[in-house]
Structure 1
């Protein structure tokens, strides 16, 4: 066999492989939600049906042995990319049909299972196709391109859909909303005062070109009444339908006998001065939207009105999708904008309404992504290396069922399995709770123990500075691990992922007003997380080594998800009881268990070292 086919420069395939791994995940988990919202599916149905799409990634360790037993990992990668492309094409061609919601959901399920299978094979192939040193070196590179896929799915593809919507419909409606230092006045909602339009020529939407919002606060009660008036008008005139109310049952045995008494005890011990919810919120303004003339025949004109650019501290109270037809075209629809309650400066935000052929626009987007995966299939078909170790792991004389259960049994027979499982579950114990409460802490008002920064500032701090720091930490972690190996860096990386959590404790103590200090703390914490997470990924690769490395790596990712999910679920409940400052003290306490486990972790000193 030709040597350049058995081994190829990792730069030719690691970035593209992990970009291809991230795209279908973000499409199923995020882009599908945006698309369904644009196409008029209710929030209730979106939440109910798309939440279940995460299931294949949760249970993927259950069928990971099959990827090990049958065929090669290279085979599974290439075939799954072809199947993913077919699933994307299926979504594209069923969007225009009448029952598109049911049909597209079926294809999203196909995408979810094939993407989860692709993840199993790709992670296994990464271990087979690279030396230990290269695995360590490229661990940050693969994470970076996976994040690039996330940004592509959430950003570029949504932008493409918006551009196609604009190109296939009426001229976009643009509204500038500006905050001003002028006295707050009572907001009067009087829809009858807007005149009926019936103009000749091209059909278009019209609104106020600039809406000025006085900087200040209004009562929660006033805001709720205004929102109800706007919603009632829009629903009455059938611009959109109302959501079904969410009903809750009475407290169960667990809540009455365990959760409630525990909550009361913790409040008494740690948060005697529990802050009350603020009775005031950011000021609001009404935006009227009208159609210039009656639609022809039975035509229905749909307008999606949302954020376009500017300061995210001015936002719509909800996402608006209006349906104008012959029965309601002569009445105005209304949108409601609100200032961030912490906003103190003059700023501006642009909102845009697009009225194109939504189904055609989204169909084209999915055709483009399907074409991308056809290219991935062809590229990886020829450019993925063919490692000698990438073979089927089925043992002669054993049935598939025996081999399946043997794969799981082999993982739990590993030497020092107890310390391995403790490491997998505890390494991210503190971070799993911090990551859930970091953004709420930065956004919450100072009266509630937070730092009170605006939504726009949060995007700058986390979305820009934090992302750069996280990526830099991850890449640097891979580089240094390839120099001296995982064993040398394990303790340093454990410190890196845990010690910077002190930044949030200091922020909760000193509550600085300077965005520079807040940004510096986030940058340090995110860099430490990126650098320290390298050890977790490399340790998972190390303990997965052996005959069933693909399946065993999938099992470690299952433990990782469990270790993140359970503490994360409880973090919000705990923080509300004991307050932010005590919560961050608790987070620091949660950094300690892993350091009691580390002395029992045995790693070959040569693992991860890149041989020159």
Structure 2
């Protein structure tokens, strides 16, 4: 999308085990602080489900638009500088979220700070992946790919278990607002510490810009890459498929944790913040990771076309456990934890299908890396759209009927998956491949 970055044929002398874990932990921690911790904080502060859905969806739109400004990061002297800078800035903004809770106008201040956290995190994601690619050769990229996913999900584990458990305990001892101030200040300190460590540990990954490359040239290239993306054969059907894939999952991932907290007389399970952290953040995260690994092997064995319907069903059918929980309202944490483990395993197992669809069907072509970034932006758009309306639908239907609706939302994408190609068009048929090139991606 921009001028070529440094070659990755000369891998960094820095040991990847010294920086890959800290790099991807710093990628996952702020994402889940916004996606999970902030939603639970707002629930504790008394916001209704529809307001939580609206505002968290709006805040997370930063991940939709990050491909639009990502090429301009090549103007920085190095990817390391961008990564470390946004880790430190993001850490400061996380601390300001906590401090904002002490203000009379706490809600507006929190939304503003969380938006800055999201922008920093989304920008960091781009530079983080770029540094990884530029600093390792093809063998190294494959060797440490598992570490990237493991430590990104460590951010989920820390957020959805440790931070929620801590927040729930502090709510009982300090009060709600002080409790979440402490939680966000702890996350802030963790991000600043990661930034300082990575300023030492990360390889330089210097940006080597082509002669004459400047912001105007990059903007011109960006326009051509966008045009090439929308000239791909069947792209609008692919966009529809990507958006619909997350229709059910986006809604249940938004409302499910809030349902666990909701009072029993209002149809929820009445769990405390600590109990949600215990069942959703610990066993749920482990089940999600296990499902992701199993889904990868399953798809590799069958191929994407044969596996896709099963993957879609895996994401959506386990949502039936939420319907069961809303009907039975069990008291046992063991029963609730087992049900949520099934749901999260299916989520991890099936989500592989969307990632591979974007990689193997949408991205291939001249601008493969950039077009994959656009596809992930569209994926986040679909997530945000359904997240935004999830609270309104839940309030209109009630929890039981809402979870039935969530399962029904999977039908369109399941049908569409049987009607569309599951492989990329041949290069000779791809009009985007014939587009005039301004510069390599």
Q: TM-score, normalised by structure 2?
A: 0.68
CA contact (8 A) 1:465 1:523 kept: yes
Aligned to 2:151: 145
In the alignment, is residue 588 of structure 1 matched against residue 410 of structure 2?
Answer: no
Alignment of 1:144-543 (within 5 A): 144-152=150-158, 308=169, 315=172, 318-319=175-176, 369-370=191-192, 372-381=194-203, 399-453=217-271, 455-481=273-299, 485-542=303-360, 543=362
Aligned to 1:610: none
- Write the distance in 1 (CA, Å) between the matches of 2:423 and 2:197: 40
The structure carrying a bigger strand percent of its residues is 1
In the alignment, is residue 553 of structure 1 matched against residue 375 of structure 2?
Answer: no
The structure carrying a bigger helix percent of its residues is 2
Among 359, 375, 392, which residue is 1:573 paired with?
Answer: 392
- Write the distance in 1 (CA, Å) between the matches of 2:82 and 2:328: 51
Deviation at 1:462, TM superposition (A): 1.2
Deviation at 1:458, TM superposition (A): 3.1
CA contact (8 A) 1:430 1:590 kept: yes
Contiguous gaps of at least 5 residues in structure 2: 1-6, 41-46, 97-102, 104-110, 426-441
Q: Spell out, residue by residue over 1:470-494, the C-alpha distance to the aligned partner (whole angstroms, 9 max, x if none).
A: 1221233344445665445333322
- Report the 3-state secondary structure (helix = DSSP H, G, I; strand = E; otherwise coil) of the residue aligned with 2:233: coil
- Write the distance in 1 (CA, Å) between the matches of 2:131 and 2:319: 34
Tell me the matched-pair count.
393
CA contact (8 A) 2:251 2:406 kept: yes
Greater Rg over alpha carbons, structure: 1
- Write the distance in 2 (CA, Å) between the matches of 1:122 and 1:587: 34
Report the CA distance shift for 1:132/1:412 in structure 2 as closer, same or farther (over 3 A): farther
- Write the distance in 2 (CA, Å) between the matches of 1:503 and 1:422: 27
Deviation at 1:16, TM superposition (A): 3.6
In the alignment, is residue 83 of structure 1 matched against residue 85 of structure 2?
Answer: yes
Deviation at 1:594, TM superposition (A): 0.9
CA contact (8 A) 1:473 1:530 kept: yes
CA contact (8 A) 1:140 1:471 kept: no
Q: TM-score, normalised by structure 1?
A: 0.51
Deviation at 1:108, TM superposition (A): 9.1
CA contact (8 A) 2:11 2:137 kept: no
Deviation at 1:426, TM superposition (A): 0.7
CA contact (8 A) 2:28 2:155 kept: yes
- Write the distance in 2 (CA, Å) between the matches of 1:365 and 1:443: 22
Aligned to 1:301: none
Q: Which has the higher contact order (CA 8 A, sep 6+)?
A: 2
Q: Spell out, residue by residue over 1:360-416, the C-alpha distance to the aligned partner (whole angstroms, 9 max, x if none).
A: xx6x9967754532432443316x7x9xxx9869999x9444312111111111222
Aligned to 2:417: 598
Contiguous gaps of at least 5 residues in structure 1: 35-42, 95-100, 163-305, 322-351, 606-612
Q: Spell out, residue by residue over 1:406-458, the C-alpha distance to the aligned partner (whole angstroms, 9 max, x if none).
A: 11111111222022101210111111111222234334455444445555443
Deviation at 1:125, TM superposition (A): 5.9
CA contact (8 A) 1:465 1:519 kept: yes
- Write the distance in 1 (CA, Å) between the matches of 2:411 and 2:380: 20
Report the CA distance shift for 1:32/1:394 in structure 2 as closer, same or farther (over 3 A): farther
Aligned to 1:562: 381
- Write the distance in 1 (CA, Å) between the matches of 2:266 and 2:242: 34
Report the CA distance shift for 1:130/1:82 in structure 2 as closer, same or farther (over 3 A): same
CA contact (8 A) 1:420 1:601 kept: no
